[in-house]
Structure 1
Amino acid sequence: MLTQDWLTDAVLYVYALSLLFFASDAASGSRSARKAGTGLLVFVWVLQTIFLILLLIQRFSVAELSLKDFLFFVSWLLVSLSFLVNRWLRAELLVLFVNVVGFAVLAMNLLQRPHRNFVLSSWEAAKRLLVVHIGLITVSFAVLTVAAILGGMYLFLHERLKKKRWTPVLSRMPSLELIDRYAFRAGLIGVPLLFLSLSTGTAALLLDGRARSLLDEKVLLSFAAGILYVVYLLRRTASGDDGTKVARWNLIGYALLVAAFFANSVSAFHRWM
């Protein structure tokens, strides 16, 4: 057993099996593989949703968040987003990549690791703001993850087309225009959510009289990522750069966001790893 719970193992195994079916669909366009993968993924999503509801009931009234809770919510969001992608885009490789990331996040969450909590202060006004902050940053992170995956797909497909290295798998990918358009739309959703989360977190710190914490490395990296994303959106809107440059701005912004997420060793707070 990977974990100490048979149901947890079942979720991981079924999720992994669904990825194999999605990989088969992406490679060969097998409708039966797509249906099997989607069915298994629905089963995983239903179990995740039940776990999430129980988690929210347990945690919602308590100003406490663990890394495992955060990763579980991100994984659930990625699975949910993959359903929307599969419904509206019909982009098999994108669905596969989103679910690969979702599986990795879920595995990090469920496998045995030290359980340490990110404890929030108990004052009422700031606590409510921090609950909103956590919700917004989680949704933003999931949406911007999809945008980054699309950016990576754009650079990969552009490079293959430039070198005329066409393969049957590439025919399963959406066009460069579609990838760029949906990456931009994901950015239009994720970036405002990111800034809303940063603003609510800032307000909570100011209410607690901890303005100096705004100079924390993790906070500064998050704001830097937000600024880079704004540059990405502006350059994409102005169309002053070609698609590859815009995609690189997208990926650089996401890299900074991930760096901020894991910058716990130098952070004065947000210690949850």
Structure 2
Amino acid sequence: MLTKDWLTDAVLYIYALSLLFFVSDAASGKRKRRRIGTGLLVFVWILQTAFLLDILIARLSMPAVTLQEYAFFVSWLLVSFSLVINRFVRAELLVLLVNAVGFAVLGLNLLERPQKKIVLAPGEAAQKLLVVHVAFIILAFVILTIAALLGGMYLFLNNRLKKKKWGSSMSRMPSLEAIESYVFRAAVVGVPLLLLSLTTGAAALLVENRYSELGDEKVLLSFAAGIVYIVYLLRRMAGKVEGTRVLKWILVGYAMLIVDFFANSYSSFHRWM
């Protein structure tokens, strides 16, 4: 067993097998393999849903979130979004990439630091604000992950088209116009969620009179990432900048979020214990 929990192992193994079928489908174009991969992915989603329901019941009276549970929730959302994408959008490669990220989030965190946890504030008002903060930041991270993957896909496809190098994988991607539209729609949803999570987190600090922590590196980096995303939205809505240039702001903002996540261990603001 990779971990001490059978449900975790089952999810990891089935998830990995599902990814293998998606990779095989991408390489051969055989839809039967894609259907098998989708079926396994649905089973992964069911197992993760059962796990998360158990967490929600257990955490009603205990204001703490372990890193394992956080990773499970992020991975569950990525699987959920990938199933929706797989059903309504013809973008097989995006589905594969989203699930590859979901598997990486789940696997790396579970195998390396399964027992670490983040304890929410003891005050009732601050605790409620931080619950909202954590919920919003998870949703924002998942949606902005998809936006970043789409942004990378746009830059890749645009570069290949400029060099007139067409490959079989490119036929599995939406058009540049469609990708750019999907990125914008994801950002329109993800950025407000990110800003809401930051404001509720800041409000929780103010309620507890922890003013000094507003200057914490992690907090400042989070707000900086939010500003980068706002710049993207403003430049995109202005429509005066080339698609490749404006989409780079999405990737910069997401890179800042990744750095911000790994800064948890060095921050005084709700770090993993």
TM-score, normalised via structure 1 length: 0.96
**Could you say which residue in structure 2 is the equivalent of 1:53?**
53
**Could you say which residue in structure 1 is the equivalent of 2:174?**
174
Separation in 1, partners of 2:100, 2:69: 19
1:95-130 deviation per Cα after TM superposition (whole angstroms, max 9, x unaligned): 000000011111124325351221122111111111
Is 1:215 equivalent to 2:222 in the alignment?
A: no
Separation in 1, partners of 2:130, 2:8: 29
SS of the equivalent of 2:118 reads: strand
**Could you say which residue in structure 2 is the equivalent of 1:87?**
87
Separation in 2, partners of 1:13, 1:68: 16
Separation in 2, partners of 1:105, 1:224: 23
Q: Which moved more, 1:83-92 or 1:23-32?
A: 23-32
The Cα shift of 1:187 comes to 0.4
Matched ranges for 1:146-225 at <5 A: 146-225=146-225
Matched ranges for 1:222-237 at <5 A: 222-237=222-237
Separation in 1, partners of 2:52, 2:181: 32
2:134 aligned partner, one-letter code: I
TM-score, normalised via structure 2 length: 0.96
1:121 aligned partner, one-letter code: A
Q: Report if aligned partners of 1:64, 1:119 keep a CA contact under 8 Å in 2.
A: yes
Separation in 2, partners of 1:270, 1:261: 11
1:3 aligned partner, one-letter code: T
* Residues matched between the structures, number: 273
Q: Report if aligned partners of 2:21, 2:34 keep a CA contact under 8 Å in 1.
A: yes
The Cα shift of 1:161 comes to 1.0
Separation in 2, partners of 1:259, 1:110: 19
Unmatched tracts of structure 2, length 5 or more = none
1:188 aligned partner, one-letter code: V
1:97 aligned partner, one-letter code: L
The Cα shift of 1:172 comes to 0.9
Is 1:271 equivalent to 2:271 in the alignment?
A: yes
The Cα shift of 1:263 comes to 1.1
1:15-48 deviation per Cα after TM superposition (whole angstroms, max 9, x unaligned): 1111111122223332211110110000000000
Is 1:132 equivalent to 2:132 in the alignment?
A: yes
**Could you say which residue in structure 1 is the equivalent of 2:239?**
239
Separation in 2, partners of 1:117, 1:7: 19
Matched ranges for 1:62-141 at <5 A: 62-111=62-111, 113=113, 115-141=115-141
1:143-180 deviation per Cα after TM superposition (whole angstroms, max 9, x unaligned): 00000000111111111111111111111111111111
SS of the equivalent of 1:209 reads: coil
SS of the equivalent of 1:27 reads: helix
2:26 aligned partner, one-letter code: A
1:28-72 deviation per Cα after TM superposition (whole angstroms, max 9, x unaligned): 332211110110000000000000000111113322122222111
Q: CA RMSD in A?
A: 1.4
2:55 aligned partner, one-letter code: L
**Could you say which residue in structure 1 is the equivalent of 2:144?**
144
**Could you say which residue in structure 1 is the equivalent of 2:23?**
23
Q: Report if aligned partners of 2:74, 2:105 keep a CA contact under 8 Å in 1.
A: yes
1:37 aligned partner, one-letter code: G
Matched ranges for 1:243-254 at <5 A: 243-254=243-254
Unmatched tracts of structure 1, length 5 or more = none
Separation in 1, partners of 2:190, 2:179: 16
